[in-house]
Structure 1
Amino acid sequence: MKVLDLHGLPEEDSLRLDFRAAFEPKEGLQSELKPFLLTLEKHADGWIPDVVNGKRQRKYSHSSFWKALEERRSPRTTGLGLYRTTWPALDMSLWLSFAAHPPELDSTVMVKPLSFFTEADRCQRLVEMVRAWASRYPVRHASAHSSDDSELAGFPGFGRELQTAVRDGFDKIYEVFWLNVFGPRLVESVGRERMLSTPAHRVEQLPNGSVLLVTWPTVTDFASKEARLAQARAHAHLRPDLDFDTLLRTLHERSAMLAPVEPRFHPDLAPLLSRVVDRAASHERQRKISELNAWQPPEPEEWRPSNSALPQDVDNPERVLEHYGDLAEHLVALLHSEVPSVFEATPESLTDADFYFWREEFPKSRLREAIDEHAVPAIGAYLGEVLVRNLGGRWIPRKKLEESQVLVGNRVWLPFVRARNYMRSRQSLLDYSLTWLYRVAERHRG
């Protein structure tokens, strides 16, 4: 069974639900967790799991669910994953800690895309599911919201050190999300009367003393002006020590960071930059597009006018050209499995190589000695070969690699110097991209 990999799909916003509560395992896991499963199946409209993963994947059923929990069980914990094979994608985890006091049930649900919850009825069913869970299991805190906006809010640490965040959890109102369940302890710290008088779409006291709060009818509208106003009002009401105008301004700033931005990349580098953007986390995607819209590649500096070219200074040019070819083949050997187009030595293969080196953070992830001794010569030789094959260039061999030139039109290009500049840092892979040098050389060949 091939499940939809939430993280392998195109970057877009997801619904994120976090539910943390206590449970009582003394009567047996099946009797204790059966209400959790039945509630999920009743309310997970269109996104019910069909795969359960313990030590291996199985088709979802109650029996496979119990089997997965049992085979992953240790004296202190057990857990499993729940997934889907068809749209929308689901990545759901259930983690049980028997060592906590009281024992703890922790579930995270990610459904992609967030737009699946556009309809108010589907959002209502999600609210009812969380309400039923929180009424059955003594909840500490639960929330459902846009995954992207949760990231921008700093969830779950909210700027705290990891050790502090794990120890204290949601010990005060750090944020008000679209859907919230505040446990009795948190309710009492705020004041039950204040909590129940919160201005919101829905506020309900649950039988165990928890309070369910929903700020707006639909989660997909979370970034609208009206929904942000409702969110800020609720937050300021629950935290009178915070300034309402500051809260609202922060929310609008987050909305602006998530608002769609039209790509207007440099045309010569659009194929590369589009792939760079595709690798950005969805909550950073629009900011990355804006950044790359404004970015312009520096004009290549690795060239001379043809009348200033250094003359050939080698005794056996054929042997030197053969050496350049061998160096270029080293790059083919390095990249061929990840970048199959490298065999073609085309402008497109340069773009593929640019993206591969950027994706791998090659200048930082490899030993500097290996980069300088092996990668730089191979990249320079390969770039030179692409100039020769595709632009009618001609090598002017030199004893020193960095002085070796490729004559194209009225310029000579220094591919080994370019390769050295290119491999300085991850940003240099864009500033000194192989693609950009090729396109500039192409424009000047006449």
Structure 2
Amino acid sequence: MKLLTMHDLNMVDSLSFSFKGTFDATGGVEPALTPLVDALEKYADGWMPTLVKSTRKRRYSREAVWRAIEERRDEYGSIIGLYRSESPAVSLVLNLTLAQGQSTLRASLDVQPLPFFREESSRSLAAVARAWASQYPVAYASAHSNADEQLADSPNFGRDDREARRDGFDKIYELFWLNIFGPKLVESVGRERMLSTPAHLVEELPNGSILLVLWPTAAEFASEEARVVQARAHVHLRPDLDFDSVLRTLRERSAALVPVEPRFHPDVAPFLSRLPDEFAISERQRKIAELNAFRPPVPEEWLPVAHPSDVANPERVLESYGDLSEGLVAALHTKVPSIMDETAESLSDLDFYFWKENFPVRYTRELIDSHTAPALGAYLGDVLVRRLGGTWVLRAKMEESQVRVGKRVWLPFLRARRYMQSRQSLLDYSLTQFFREVERCRP
């Protein structure tokens, strides 16, 4: 059964609920955490976890939760995961720090996809949040779109990591769809002011915390109406802020999340189509728009007439090229399995691999110039020979060696050298585009 991973969470937007509360474990972990499980089983309708994972996977049950906590327990505490593999996918990580007296519960809940949270399911999540916050005192907790949280720079909010860790959520940096303010934060703002916040739901909890839900449905957090409410509530709690400025920022964030249809240049689409998923989900639509606008330069690594071969022993030169190509295959076949096929798809896979690895930056120029680029040129030439019927025209100077395809001769070593100059050059001089251009010019 597949579990929701961090990679999966970066594919489409999720509702992310971050909760850190305290509890007394002196009477045992099981009785202390029973209210947490009670709330899940009572309110998590439609998104209840079905699996418990510690050192092994089990079907969800209370007994499975207690056994998992004990299996993973050490001198510091315990970490377990509760998951749901069917839609909506759920990942709930419980991190317990156990100590004499006051212990800490950190719960990180992600539910995907975000559109699942219409009115009824949004109420169910709010009910879980209310129950947890009433039982386990918090300083601050929130639930919101994962992508929009990234755009808000949560949890740093413009601070460096050290400052953010030191101060935490010590003032109203941002408002999210659901917010729980602990007593200390409530008093710093003013209880009456907070209780009068213009929002969908404002509720005082028995322990003095306040639950604030901005909009009835989490899935509609980015609508114009919800953003106006968000801005008004934020300015109400932070009178030092300007409403128009806050709303403008929120609208910009909404615009950044509007889906952009991929319209990549056809010569490089097999390669470019794989890049957006490598960016944070909050950046993805902007990156798609940038890649839509990208137009690679027309390949210039060709000659209308071949320079005649000037090597005395062509067999030995071809053998050396074969060694280079085989060395590349040997080095990369586990990371790029298709490299063994020597196809157009292999070239696209190599483009993606070198870009993802940021190869021209991560590795030394000496290694690239003396080994990687020549080996790649030999491999690229072999693909032209094998897949497009080309023939080698060998030169003593490797970079001048050519592959004749139809009426043109192509310079794979020159292409490989240009390709390996920078991360941008991997786009500008992609192997995928070079192959397509050679194929197109073939009679």
- Alignment TM class, shorter chain as reference: over 0.9
Q: Aligned ranges for residues 347-362 of structure 1 at < 5 Å?
A: 347-362=344-359
For 1:7 and 1:275, how far apart are their aligned partners in 2?
Answer: 14
Aligned counterpart, 1:171: 170
TM-score by length of 2: 0.95
Shift in Å, 1:9: 6.7
Secondary structure, counterpart of 1:428 in structure 2: helix
Equivalent position amino acid for 1:419 in 2:
A
Aligned counterpart, 1:115: 115
Q: Aligned ranges for residues 72-151 of structure 1 at < 5 Å?
A: 72-98=72-98, 102-117=102-117, 119-151=118-150
Moved more, 397-406 or 211-220: 397-406
- Alpha-carbon deviations, 1:322-345, whole Å to 9, x = none? 322232222222333333332332
For 2:166 and 2:67, how far apart are their aligned partners in 1?
Answer: 31
Unmatched tracts of structure 1, length 5 or more:
none
For 2:72 and 2:389, how far apart are their aligned partners in 1?
Answer: 63
1:430 is matched with which residue: 417, 427, 436?
427
Equivalent position amino acid for 1:75 in 2:
E
Aligned counterpart, 1:382: 379
Conserved 8 A contact 1:143-1:180 = yes
Distance 1:368 1:99, change over 3 A: farther
Aligned counterpart, 1:228: 227
Secondary structure, counterpart of 1:27 in structure 2: coil
Aligned counterpart, 2:342: 345
Aligned counterpart, 2:183: 184
Asked if 1:159 is matched to 2:147, the reply is: no
Aligned counterpart, 1:310: 307
Moved more, 65-74 or 33-42: 65-74
Shift in Å, 1:373: 2.7
Aligned counterpart, 2:239: 240
Moved more, 362-371 or 257-266: 362-371
Distance 1:100 1:388, change over 3 A: farther
Conserved 8 A contact 1:51-1:60 = yes
Moved more, 39-48 or 211-220: 39-48
Aligned counterpart, 2:52: 52
Shift in Å, 1:103: 2.8
- Alpha-carbon deviations, 1:348-384, whole Å to 9, x = none? 2211221122223222344443333322122101111
Aligned counterpart, 2:29: 29
Shift in Å, 1:144: 0.5
Aligned counterpart, 2:410: 413
For 1:367 and 1:18, how far apart are their aligned partners in 2?
Answer: 41
Conserved 8 A contact 1:5-1:89 = no
Aligned counterpart, 2:290: 291
Shift in Å, 1:150: 0.5
Unmatched tracts of structure 2, length 5 or more:
none
Conserved 8 A contact 2:22-2:105 = yes
Conserved 8 A contact 2:25-2:101 = no
For 2:101 and 2:134, how far apart are their aligned partners in 1?
Answer: 20
Aligned counterpart, 1:250: 249
The percent identity for this pair of structures is 60
Aligned counterpart, 2:321: 324
For 1:165 and 1:4, how far apart are their aligned partners in 2?
Answer: 28
Shift in Å, 1:101: 8.3
Secondary structure, counterpart of 1:398 in structure 2: coil
Conserved 8 A contact 2:52-2:58 = yes
Aligned residues between the structures: 443
Secondary structure, counterpart of 1:282 in structure 2: coil
Aligned counterpart, 1:441: 438
Conserved 8 A contact 1:387-1:438 = yes
RMSD of aligned alpha carbons: 1.9
Equivalent position amino acid for 1:163 in 2:
R
Secondary structure, counterpart of 2:283 in structure 1: helix
Equivalent position amino acid for 2:274 in 1:
R
Asked if 1:336 is matched to 2:367, the reply is: no
